Chains A and B, each alone.
Chain A
Amino acid sequence: ETGVTQSPTHLIKTRGQQVTLRCSSQSGHNTVSWYQQALGQGPQFIFQYYREEENGRGNFPPRFSGLQFPNYSSELNVNALELDDSALYLCASSPGPTSYNEQFFGPGTRLTVL
Chain B
Amino acid sequence: QQQVKQSPQSLIVQKGGISIINCAYENTAFDYFPWYQQFPGKGPALLIAIRPDVSEKKEGRFTISFNKSAKQFSLHIMDSQPGDSATYFCAASGWGGGSQGNLIFGKGTKLSVKP
User: Is the A/B pair a real complex?
Assistant: yes
A33 proximity list for chain B (CB < 8 A): 101-103
Q: What are the interface flags for A19-55 relative to B under an 8 Å C-beta threshold, 1 for contact and 0 otherwise?
A: 0000000000001010100001111110110000001
Partner of B102 from A4, A48, A100 at Cβ < 8 Å = A48
Given the interface contacts A102-B34, A105-B45, does A42 sit within 8 Å of B98 by beta carbon?
A: no
A4 to B46 Cα, complex, angstroms: 13
- Among the stretches B12-20, B61-69, B104-112, the one at the interface with A is B104-112
B43→A90 contact, CB < 8 A:
yes
In the complex, whether A2 has a CB less than 8 A from a CB of chain B is no
Residue of B nearest to A108 (CB): B43
Q: A42-B107, A99-B31, A99-B94 are in contact. Are A31 and B43 (CB under 8 A)?
A: no
The answer to whether B46 and A103 touch across the interface, beta carbons within 8 angstroms, is yes
Q: Which of B34, B100, B102, B106 has the most CB of A within 10 A?
A: B102
For B45, the chain A residues whose CB sits under 8 A away are: 105
CA A101 to CA B30, docked complex, whole Å: 14
* Nearest CB in chain A to that of B98: its residue: A56
B25 at the interface (CB under 8 A from A): no
Using a CB–CB distance below 8 Å, which chain A residues touch chain B? Answer: 4, 31, 33, 35, 40-45, 47-48, 55-58, 90, 92, 94, 96-108
27 intermolecular pairs with C-beta atoms under 8 Å apart: A4-B43, A33-B101, A33-B103, A42-B89, A42-B105, A44-B105, A45-B98, A45-B103, A45-B104, A48-B98, A55-B99, A55-B101, A56-B97, A57-B99, A58-B97, A96-B101, A99-B93, A101-B101, A102-B49, A103-B34, A103-B103, A104-B46, A105-B43, A106-B43, A107-B41, A107-B42, A108-B42
Query: B: which residues have CB within 8 A of A?
Result: 6, 30-32, 34, 36, 41-46, 49, 89, 91, 93-95, 97-108
